[in-house]
Amino acid sequence: MSSRPSTIAERLIDDLSARAPQHSRDADLAIEAHGLVKHFGDIHAVNGIDLRVRPGQVFGFLGQNGSGKTTTVRMLTTLLRPTDGTARVAGFDVLNQDRQVRRAVGVALQEAGLDILQTGRELLRLQSRLYNVPRGEIEDRIAHLLEVVDLTDDADRRIGGYSGGMQRRLDLASALVHSPPIIFLDEPTTGLDPVSRQNLWEYIQRLNREDGVTFFLTTQYLEEADQLCDEIAILDAGEIVQQGTPDGLKATVSVDVIYVQVEGDEQAQQRAVSALLPLPNVEDAQWDYNEGVAIYSKSGHDTLPRVVRTLDDESLPFSNLRLARATLDDVFFKATGHRIEPADQTAPTTGGGAG
Amino acid sequence: MTTAQAPSELQTSASREAGPLQVLTDARHLAVRAIRESVRQPGVEITNVFIPLFFLAVSTGAIANFSERGFGVENYLAFQLPVAVLQAVAGSSAASGIAIVLDMERGYFDKLLLTPASRWSLIIGRVWADAVRAIFFATIMLVAALVAGSGMATGVPGAILILIIAGLFGGAYSGIGIFIAMRTGNAQAAQAGFLLFFPLLFMAPAFAPLAVFDDWLRIIATINPVTYIMEGMRGLVMEGYAWPVTEGGQIVFGPDGLPLTKDPPALHWAFVSLAGFSAFTLTIAALALRSRTRAD
């Protein structure tokens, strides 16, 4: 409440906007966040995130483990109180209207949160009741969902006997019992086999296309973000470092990338990078442990021979020279300074000043 | 949960959807699930039957022969029956804390928190289930002791009263496990919730009447609510009803300012103690839940 409005007209407008139903203010946004911050003591998990997700979008959060994806999801779904900032989901404030938020969203967290002593059907039934699904509709709804996630035959077995993939599918079904307009999926396909992953993608796309469901998903798979998302935010050390459509993001990286493995220690790599950076058309050059030196160029064909010549001049032996189109991987690398490392591959990385 | 600050319009819509009835309905669904959990792992529950029966048998076997000479208790099995009931009930209720920690570890607790169900229904559901389980285990203790010849001075109505007290004690005790689970999220700590039962039960007239206790122990026992719960049950088993003496519908107070009762331990103190005990445990459980779901 800053200065008092002076004219009658101003006061009237003030009064009207104060009385207007709160959700009408940003009715066209499914998810909205301003300056979202979460600190756990000294650990700054999320450092000021702004979000605007429109209804019907599939919005992806791309980042490594520890980049703040899960923390953000937990704040948006009312499980965690932000240290600072505000967020509205389905038009409701996540702090003061938490129950309305929970009613409007379906959530499947990273670890399938299930009770192993119940059967799949019992779990869905309890879930339906807690979401106040009308009694007469519960059994039909459950039967439909079980079919969708391909668990009809196992519905009356205890969850403890389910495989990891089955548990994830059941977890997803449990997020859908109340047909929510907004669904949060935290790394939905991590640990799934390729077939299940493909099925899940298709299901997400179908729900999005046919029912207009908004998705907010986090992933550490570039391919997943590329395939599914209308918009991607790259998250690193608790901040959004790059955001846009998959194609738009790829366009921010120069059209071509030249990869080359320079032999020698880290010093040799750095020497190569410094020598290559000034070449014409080269926008950036970076080195990382897995991919070697990556040179981003507006014109790969022009740059390629110059790379060879420069490395020769510097007496740096090299191998595996190749030219490629930019991928999301390159966008990610350029934005964060490191390659994305899914949790199940733990190769060491260097480079990147991710605090 | 911060509805106090919400505009009145929201408050009414929230209370319409989440009134006390809705909380109880949600709690009932959660209680059914919690009971199903016990039924499906009978191995976990068997200790709640075995340990108190074992104690009942060995303490009676060791002490019954001199209890009359020692401290004037003729029927020691009957004297021990409330102890067995309370022990079985505490054991089964302490398991709730562990169950909640397991839910947390498996992520199921988050899933429940993500539903629009009231947070309170998560507690009430557990308490409810524990009360039901308490009555179940108390029934086993009662039947076992009756078969062994404890007798029941107040007959079937008294037995029902004992089961009611057991149910209330079970619900109250469950608050301790919930508190520890919410506070620590640690299974070992939750397991230790059962240990609290030892001072509560044995710093009470569990093995002998208060009259023969050393002063220090008697003083502790006098402020221990379990003493009154135990004595109230014991009166029902051994002697009869002991409601306060009334005259013309008015409770008669003795010279110490307390209600005057007949000889057996006063039953109403059992209920007063239960009310105080459950108010305490459920309050700390509720506060722990609140700080867990708010802060993190």
Question: Are B137 and B46 contacting, i.e. CB atoms less than 8 angstroms apart?
Answer: no
Residue ranges of domains in chain B: 19-294
* Contact between chains at B116 and A132 (C-beta distance less than 8 A): yes
Q: Residues B59, B87: contact at Cβ < 8 Å?
A: no
Q: Is A81 on the interface with B (CB under 8 A)?
A: yes
Is A117's CB within 8 Å of B36's CB?
A: yes
Residues 6 or more apart in contact with residue A45 via CB below 8 angstroms: A38, A39, A68, A71, A238
How far is it, in rounded angstroms, from Cα B220 to Cα B174?
23
Q: Is the pLDDT of residue A45 over 70?
A: yes
For the ranges A142-146, A180-184, A238-242, A299-303, the lowest mean pLDDT is seen at: A299-303
The answer to whether the Cβ–Cβ distance between A126 and B29 falls below 8 Å is: yes
pTM (predicted TM-score): 0.76
Please state, as a whole number, how many other Cβ atoms lie within 10 Å of the Cβ of residue A133. 18
Are the CB atoms for B63 and B78 separated by under 8 Å?
A: no
Domain with CATH 3.40.50.300 in chain A: 26-246
Q: Name the class of domain A26-246.
A: alpha beta
CB contact burial A19-37 (16+ within 10 A = b; e otherwise): eeebeeeeeebbbbbeebb
Measured between alpha carbons, how far is A224 from A200 in angstroms, rounded to an integer?
Answer: 11
Distance CA B133, CA B131 (A): 5
Residue of A nearest to B9 (CA): A21
* CATH dotted code for A254-325: 3.30.70.100
Which residues, given as ranges, of chain B have pLDDT below 70?
Answer: 1-18, 242-265, 294-296
Determine the Cα–Cα distance for residues A190 and A226; give it in Å rounded to an integer: 16
Let me know: does B68 contact B75? Beta carbons within 8 Å: no
pLDDT of residue B153: 87
Contact B296 A122 (CB under 8 A): no
Tell me how many residue pairs between chain A and chain B have CB atoms under 8 A apart. Answer: 81
Q: Is the pLDDT of residue A91 over 70?
A: yes
- The predicted structure's pLDDT at residue B18: 56
The pLDDT of residue A16 is above 70: no
Per-residue pLDDT band for A353 (boundaries 50, 70, 90) equals: very low
User: Is the CB of B296 less than 8 angstroms away from the CB of A111?
Assistant: no
**Which residue do the tokens 């469950």 mark?**
B174
- Cβ pair B36:A131 closer than 8 A: no
Q: State residue B45's pLDDT score.
A: 84
Distance CA(B10)–CA(A21), nearest Å, equals 10
Vertex A328: Cα angle to A326 and A333 (nearest 5):
90
State yes or no: pLDDT of A189 exceeds 70: yes
B190 in Cβ contact with B100 (< 8 Å) = yes
Q: What is the pLDDT of residue A352?
A: 33
Evaluate if residue A27 carries a pLDDT over 80. no
pLDDT of residue B242: 67
Q: Best mutation site among B9, B33, B111, B293 for testing chain A: the one with the most A CBs within 10 Å?
A: B111
* Mean pLDDT along residues A57-75: 90
Residue numbers in B near A82 (CB within 8 A): none
Q: Which of A100, A102, A118 sits opposite B114 (nearest CB)?
A: A102
Q: Is the pLDDT score of A83 beyond 50? A: yes
Q: Report the alpha-carbon distance of residue A348 to residue B147 in Å, rounded.
A: 69
Strand pairing category for A292-297 and A282-288: antiparallel
Residue with the bigger pLDDT between B98 and A248: it is B98
Q: Is A47 helix (H, G, I), strand (E, B) or coil?
A: strand
- Work out the average pLDDT over A309-338: 82
* Percent of chain A that is helix, strand, coil (3-state, to 5): 40, 25, 35
Q: Please calculate the CA angle A80-A86-A89 and round it to the nearest 5 degrees.
A: 75
Residue A150, chain B, CB below 8 Å: the answer is no
Query: Which residues, 6 or more positions from A355, have their beta carbon under 8 angstroms from its beta carbon?
Result: A237
Q: Taking residues A234-244, what's their average pLDDT?
A: 88
Inter-chain touch A113–B295, beta carbons under 8 Å: no
